[in-house]
Structure 1
Amino acid sequence: MVVRYILHRPTTMRKLQLHLSLHHLQPRGSAMVHCSTITFPANKMFDNMTPEAHPPWNHILFEYSRRNLFQEVLSLFFHMRRSDVSPDSLCLSSVLKACSSLSDPIAGGQVHSYCVKSGHDSGVSVGTALVDMYMKCGSVNDAQQAFHDMPETNVVTWTTLLAGYVQNGCPEIALEFFIRMHEEDLKPNHFTFATVLAACADLGAVQAGSNIHSLVLKLGFSTTLFVGNSLLNMYSKCGLISAAQMVFDGLSNRSSISWNAMLTGLVQNGFHAEALEIFHQMRMDGVQLTQATFTTLIKACADNRELGFTRQLHSCALKTGFASDTSTLTGLVIAYAKCKQMEVAHGLFSLVPEVQTVVSWTAMVGGYLENGMTEQALHGFRKMWREDIKPNEFTFSTILTAAPLLTPSQFHAQAIKAGYESSPKVGTALLTAYVKLSCMEEAAKIFSLMDEKDTVSWSAMITGYAQIGDSEGAARLFRRMTQQGVEPNEFTFSGVLNACSSPTAAVEQGKQLHGLVIKSCLDNAICVSSALVTMYARRGDIDHAYKLFVRQTERDIVSWNSMISCYAQHGRGKKALEVFSELENEGLQLDGITFVGVLTACNHAGLVDEGCRYFKSMTSIYHVHPTMEHYACMVDLYSRAGQLESAMNLINEMPFPAGPTVWRTLLGGCRIHRNLKLGELAADKLMSLEPHDSAAYVLLSNMYAAAGRWEERAKVRCLMEERAVKKEVGYSWIEVQHQIHAFTASERFHPMKDQIYKKLDELGSQLKREGYCPDTNFVLHDLEDEQKEQILAHHSERLAIAFGLISTPLETPLQIVKNLRVCGDCHTVIKMISRITGRKITLRDWNRFHHFSDGSCSCGDYW
């Protein structure tokens, strides 16, 4: 028997006829209830009654709720209250479900108040509905209070509470309450397990997930498909693909959800070949493909720039009817864009208006940028605004990350206008863009405004300070980061270690960071181990650097390039070429940086023939096209060896005009070999390209001084004054007891100046007894020889060495850094000091390292 009630606007409160409209009784903000016909099974209690006599309110509410007519449920509830009809627990549960579905905490609070007044809040069903309502409305504290106020709970109540915590981003609290539930000896059901496994997946809590898996097996839920899918999802999100595969293999009755979960887990963890096998197995087993299947696989194709499989999936989606699905089409647009098929991507994007969402617009803009189509990307970005599609944080981060040549300020204002300036993703992209341009002041402002600073944003700032050579700024920021409890990752350590490679950084600082790297178990990360190699090499310890290089479990081209360049800087050219030979056997793709290191090694060791051979092999064997930097290396190689004519011929044969580096290099060679005519040509070219760079003026004036042409030298100095060109002041520094001590020539401000000059006098007497005769040609001033000798004796590197000798124990190695090139006379003196004192002295000048020991230098007097 079926009873049909037809409702319409009441003329009396008890009359139910054709239509019922409750607009005037609805709470503020609710919608008009449209006419509807409600059909539901009869109940014995209504067999002998008429609707006019006693309206079956609960059944009407239940039917509204069953049909998801939640606004009508609320309206009818308030109508009941005005009619003095008292809802029972079943009715109140339905009303609270409506409040949950509508996310209406105000109406929910009103219903809660009625429950308390009527005494219905003590029932399990109403209490559970209250917990669910508050959780779905985001009122976690109210939900927890409602739970604690319940005199009696059951597994459904606990599961509702756990699900609410997970939905509101509190998975760790969900795990705590699950433990309490277990302690109270309340047996979980399959929904409980699914909920708590989702919490483990969100937290990446592998151990907790494994323990819950054991409980699943113990209580016999392992065969429940719902729980099995949750286990599969948990292990996949935690990166334990082998465990996920075992769960998947153990499922006797797999659904399409199971297959898609396994597929998603493989793709998310980078097992793309295995994901392809699963897809083929799905098709062979006749598993029904879903939208999720295509979305997952197309994303994998996009991530791997796999064009062939993208086309196959596109064809399959057309055959199965999923090609018109918005998510699938959006995925295809993204995949084709990343595969550089912009015409195909634009075709799909243009033909289907539904696809033109902020996600696909972002993909198109990013695709244009990745393919070097900057104008089209900017046009697309502006068109988004015109068509009232507001860019999201991914749009801004995409255009800022993929377009480093664009000025960040072009998008900074728009990000502020869109309200994304303080977003972690956009903020990080903005500050990274400013960092690439070395605009650290702007980057720091962005960083200070960010609401949430994650590891990526901290790392970007640290890397920025490292790039501009501010080692102290990078170290200070790293300390702040760790003090605020942010865990550094491999990129953080790489950035701060690169900062410690700076000449001004403290040696002990780098060693302490090395200890932290080992403690964090990140010493095997390629970027970290390569940074450690570079850091030790630049601090003068090339042997320790090589030991770290040998211990690397995995090496990419960056690691090899780093080691080759380090040996080149230390003047160990043959060792650098040995490492290059090992690299050739590895079969890695060589790049331009590799050959910069190789040519520099040949340059510093005077290996002219070998350098020419490697330069020719770049294009003929390795298909690497020489850049300006490679030509500068070759010009330097010829110039240092005195083959200035060959250097000039190479400059004339270059496929592009010579830049400042090339002319500066040639000018340096002319100074060494005193070729004034060619030096004047190189200086003139360099001054025209960089009129405010002091190198051309200083080198040319030094050449005139060495030739005794004091008038020409004076003219160059006058020209410097006219153009406001400042010569860089030469200084040297040494680290003693974790403090940096800097010296300029004839320094008189150091607290220990008296002891330093006394030590210099002692060394001067010893040097003369050993046969030292000052080479006054390195004093480029028109002075008497005695004055020139005094100037030489007080060069900054000698002051730093004297301080090191009186401030450190006997036989302690000394490390000196100089911002300019060491002069020939100082080079001779330091060799003799190393023999007289028995000290090993490492000197790093602007160009290379010199290792002095027992009267000789590692450069072999060729630098």
Structure 2
Amino acid sequence: MIRKRTNDNRFNRFHHSSLWQKCTNFRALKQLHAFLIVNGLNSTNSVLRELIFVSAMVVSGTMDYAHQLFAQITQPDIFMWNTMIRGSTQSLKPATAVSLYTQMDNRGVRPDKFTFSFVLKACTKLSWDKLGIVIHGKILKSGFQSNTFVRNTLIYFHANCGDLAIARALFDDSAKRDVVPWSAMTAGYARRGKLDVARQLFDEMPVKDLVSWNVMITAYAKLGEMEKARKLFDEAPKKDVVTWNAMIAGYVLSRLNKEALEMFDAMRAMGQRPDDVTMLSILSASADLGDLEIGKKIHRSIFDMRCGDLSVLLGNALIDMYAKCGSIGNAMEVFQGMRRKDTASWNSIIGGLALHGHAEESINQFQEMLRLKMKPNDITFVGVLVACSHAGKVQEGRTYFSLMRNMYKIEPNIKHYGCMVDILGRAGLLIEAFKFIDTMEVEPNAIIWRTLLGACRVHGDVELGRRANEQLLKMRKDESGDYVLLSNIYASQGEWDGVQKVRKLMDDGGVKKKVGRSLIDADNSFLMHFLFDSKPKFVEGS
């Protein structure tokens, strides 16, 4: 009895202390947990609730730790279940929320309105429409559909990945007095490409919240309608980081990179703090512009913003930017300074090194990646095969191509086949290259035949060059460079009749020689096409 009173006193002192407020990082969280164990408070339900809440919802990046703590609780109450489901829904692994809900159901714990809402949000995030419809059925059975919070989440789910007709029926019922379902319906129509309906809803909204403004600006920006997006942006009474990110990403997507950089400068001038999403878009803009000085300035901004601690995504984007700007030394420095690396990190540096002629180092990095048990993907093998081509390593190229198929079970795509043709062609193994093309499981494209035609020119093989050119002409007859390559092959062997025949073909087909084309241009285009996806992607904020 005395011990219980002592524990109660300890709990009261702890509960009213400022320790929870000081728990702002992983280290503090672990110290707090240790404090609870030492003071015998780790079995008190009230304390456990707060500990779970802080680890799942307050401290960033500690969701895995929250799961470890939760697994040790023998009888978690509904608040703990809901907190874990909610935290999982907001994490990078929303499927875990569904798994927790299933465990909860199996244990006979009765869900409440919050449980259903959090699970529905996970289904929406995962686009699991069938499971969401099952959850809707359970909501009806439990009598929660009339609850405003649950109904709004149902509208959000159906508008985004469920049945738009059901969303509209729920919305038309009694939800029109609430701004949240208005925003959900607007977003649903916009994301499904029904922008006219979305705009009509937006214009009819009695009160427009920031979410609805962001939805419409993002929708226009994604479609590349930047004038409409900019008009709404200028009219918006309030702007947050998502608003600015939508505009910046939209400009990048439309390849209006200078406008993206100007918007970024305006964002900072207005006192809005950029986040990782902003910086990813801006790095993409500077990479596409090929402006190293701007890229370095952005790098410094990221360093100051994150106190030198790079996220994996930002690190990868910096490597990509430096590689595209021709500064492979800076790219390597970023790579080596990253505390955490994923497959994309290795791909960026392997591909960047290969692109800039550092073939041996590219292959060495690939070997190091394998040594560290990092699993390569299809993009990794494109990079290392290009490196093998530049280094003239035919046997290594064959080995890696085989390794990709046999050990990692990656089926080669047109890029891998193209790299192998390039490897064989550069090495003068033209007959083998032709046989290799015949065994390909995908249809060879113009890039592959042009690569082989270029190799025939380098090695002076008229007959095989003519065969490659015939295949090219079946695909495209208006590309002057293809004719010029064949003409050069004839000329290098002194076959002037052949040169005249090629010129006659061009004249008869109305093909005019383009100025300034060369094999170097073609080769660089090949590498850029195969190593880097130069088309920017729309990056959304949360």
The alignment's TM-score, normalised by the length of structure 1, stands at: 0.49
1:744-755 equivalences in 2 (<5 Å): none
| Residue 359 (structure 2) pairs with residue 579 (structure 1) | no
* Amino acid paired to 1:312: Q
Matching residue of 1:596: 382
Q: 1:360 is matched with which residue?
A: 154
Give the distance between the partners of 1:433 and 1:673, measured in 2 at CA: 52
Distance 1:589 1:365, change over 3 A: farther
Q: Does the 8 Å CA contact 1:720/1:726 hold for their aligned counterparts?
A: no
Q: Using a 3 Å threshold, how does the CA distance of structure 1 residues 522 and 667 change in structure 2: closer, same or farther?
A: farther
Query: Per the alignment, do residues 276 and 399 of structure 1 end up closer, same or farther by CA in structure 2, a change over 3 Å counting?
Result: farther
1:293 pairs with 2:76: no
Structure 1 residue 633, shift from structure 2 partner: 1.7
What corresponds to 2:536 in structure 1?
A: none
Distance 1:562 1:418 in 2: 43
Shift in Å, 1:541: 3.2
| In structure 1, C-alpha distance between the alignment counterparts of 2:474 and 2:218, rounded to whole Å | 34
Residue 103 (structure 2) aligned to one of 312, 319, 324: 312
Quote the Cα distance in structure 1 between the aligned partners of 2:184 and 2:36: 34
Q: Give the partner amino acid of 1:328.
A: T
- Which whole-Å CA distance do the structure 1 matches of 2:235 and 2:451 have between them? 44
SS at match of 1:501: helix
| 1:585 positional shift | 1.6
The verdict on how the C-alpha distance between 1:454 and 1:670 changes in structure 2, with shifts beyond 3 A counting, is farther
Separation in structure 1 between the aligned mates of residue 253 and residue 126 of structure 2, nearest angstrom: 32
Tell me, yes or no, if structure 1 residue 640 matches structure 2 residue 444: no
Query: Mapping of 1:121-136 within 5 angstroms?
Result: none
CA contact (8 A) 2:189 2:197 kept: no
Question: Any conservation in 2 of the 1:248–1:262 contact (CA below 8 Å)?
Answer: no
Deviation at 1:820, TM superposition (A): 6.0
Which digits, 9 at most, give the CA deviation of each residue in 1:192-242, with x for residues without a partner?
Answer: xxxxxxxxxxxxxxxxxxxxxxxxxxxx999368745xx576456788534
Relative to structure 1, is the Cα distance of residues 688 and 537 closer, same or farther in structure 2, using a 3 angstrom cutoff?
same
Hey, what's the Cα distance between the residues in 1 that align with 2:11 and 2:443?
72
Aligned to 1:454: 240
Displacement of 1:336 in angstroms is 6.3
- Determine the C-alpha separation between the residues in 2 that align with 1:283 and 1:465: 52
Partner of 1:385: 168
Match of 1:623 in 2: 409
Contact 2:382–2:419, Cα closer than 8 Å, also in 1: yes
Counterpart secondary structure, 1:486: coil
Q: Would the alpha carbon gap of residues 655 and 518 (structure 1) be closer, same or farther in structure 2, given more than 3 Å must change?
A: same
Distance, in Å, in 2 between the alignment partners of 1:592 and 1:416 is 41
Is contact 1:701–1:716 with CA below 8 Å preserved after alignment? no
Structure 1 match to 2:50: 261
CA distance in 2, matches of 1:480, 1:253: 50
Matches within 5 A, 1:238-253: 241-242=29-30, 245=33
Flag structure 1 segments of 5+ consecutive residues without an equivalent: 1-219, 369-376, 731-818, 825-843, 850-863
- Sequence identity, in percent? 24
Q: Identify if the C-alpha distance between structure 1 residues 520 and 241 changes in structure 2 by more than 3 Å, giving closer, same or farther.
A: same
Establish whether residue 555 from structure 1 lines up as the match of residue 341 from structure 2. Answer: yes
* CA deviation map 1:684-739 (0-9, x unaligned): 65566567xx6x33222442365342453254256356xxx994x64xxxxxxxxx
- Kindly tell me: are residues 411 and 621 of structure 1, through their superposed partners in 2, closer, same or farther at Cα, counting changes over 3 Å? same
Deviation at 1:395, TM superposition (A): 6.2
Q: Are positions 1:516 and 2:301 aligned together?
A: yes
Relative contact order (alpha carbons < 8 A, sep ≥ 6): 1 or 2 greater?
Answer: 2
Aligned residue number for residue 285 of structure 2: 499
Inter-partner Cα distance in structure 2 for 1:619 and 1:584: 15
Q: Contact 2:185/2:198 (CA < 8 Å) preserved in 1?
A: no
Equivalent residue, structure 2, for 1:754: none
**Higher fraction of strand:** 1
Q: For 1:179-328, list aligned pairs within 5 A.
A: 223=12, 227=16, 231=18, 234-235=21-22, 241-242=29-30, 245=33, 258-268=47-57, 269-279=60-70, 282-283=73-74, 289-290=77-78, 292-302=79-89, 303=91, 304=93, 305-306=95-96, 308-316=99-107, 319-320=108-109, 322-323=110-111, 325-328=112-115
Deviation at 1:574, TM superposition (A): 1.5
- Does the 8 Å contact 2:268/2:274 carry over to 1? yes
The 5 Å alignment of 1:60-99 reads none
Which AA in structure 2 matches 1:414?
V
- How far apart in 1 are the matches of 2:336 and 2:322? 14
Does the 8 A contact of 2:320 with 2:348 survive in 1?
yes
* CA 337–643 in structure 1, closer or farther in 2 if over 3 Å, else same: same
2:271 alignment partner, one of 485, 500, 511: 485
**Which secondary structure state, in structure 1, belongs to the residue aligned with residue 194 of structure 2?**
helix
- Given that residues 132 and 157 in structure 2 are in contact (C-alpha distance below 8 angstroms), is that contact kept between their aligned partners in structure 1? no
Report the Cα offset of residue 594 of structure 1.
0.7
Cα shift readout 1:234-289 (whole Å, capped 9, x = no counterpart): 456788534764786779799855543322221124434543454456545xx7x2
Q: 1:570 to 1:332 in 2, by over 3 A?
A: closer
Give 1:713's aligned amino acid. Answer: R
Give, in angstroms, the shift of residue 348 of structure 1: 3.2
Structure 1, residues 779-831: CA drift from partner, whole Å, max 9, x if none? Answer: xxxxxxxxxxxxxxxxxxxxxxxxxxxxxxxxxxxxxxxx965489xxxxxxx
Q: Which amino acid is 1:349 matched to?
A: H
Matched AA of 1:507? L
What count of residue pairs does the alignment treat as equivalent? 487
Matches within 5 A, 1:404-483: 410-419=193-202, 425=211, 444=230, 447-448=233-234, 450-466=236-252, 470-483=256-269
Which of 496, 502, 509 is matched with 1:719 structurally? 509
Question: 2:480 matched to which residue of 1?
Answer: 697
Amino acid aligned to 2:326 = G
Q: Structure 2, unaligned stretches of length 5 or more?
A: 1-8, 176-180, 491-495, 529-542
Q: Deviations over 1:134-179 (max 9, x none)?
A: xxxxxxxxxxxxxxxxxxxxxxxxxxxxxxxxxxxxxxxxxxxxxx
Tell me how far apart the structure 2 counterparts of residues 432 and 645 of structure 1 sit (CA, whole Å): 52
Distance 1:658 1:441, change over 3 A: farther
Separation in 1, partners of 2:406, 2:262: 48
SS at 1:623 equivalent: coil
Matched residue of 2:12: which SS?
A: coil
Quick one: distance in 2 between partners of 1:686 and 1:441? 41
Give yes or no for contact 2:454–2:519 (8 Å, CA) kept in 1: no
With normalisation by structure 2, the TM-score equals 0.74
Q: Is the 8 A contact 2:343 2:374 kept in 1?
A: yes
Distance in 2 separating the partners of 1:430 and 1:650: 51
Please give the alpha-carbon distance, in whole angstroms, between the structure 2 residues aligned to 1:400 and 1:604: 47
In the alignment, the residues of structure 1 paired with residue 254 and residue 424 of structure 2 have an alpha-carbon distance, to the nearest angstrom, of 31
Counting only pairs closer than 5 Å after superposition, residues 29-108 of structure 1 correspond to structure 2 as none
On the 8 A contact 1:671/1:699 being kept in 2, the answer is no
Q: Which amino acid aligns with 2:154?
A: S
When residues 520 and 444 of structure 1 are mapped into structure 2, their CA distance, relative to the original with a 3 A threshold, is same
Aligned partners of 1:697 and 1:720 also within 8 Å: no
Amino acid at match of 2:104: L
Which stretch of structure 1 is more off in the superposition, 255-264 or 575-584? Answer: 255-264
Distance across 1 between alignment mates of 2:228 and 2:451: 34
Q: Distance in 2 between matches of 1:654 and 1:536?
A: 35
Q: CA contact under 8 A between 1:236 and 1:266: conserved in structure 2?
A: no
Q: Which amino acid aligns with 1:295?
A: N
One-letter amino acid of the structure 2 residue matched with residue 517 of structure 1: I
1:760 counterpart residue number: none
Q: CA deviation at 1:299?
A: 2.8
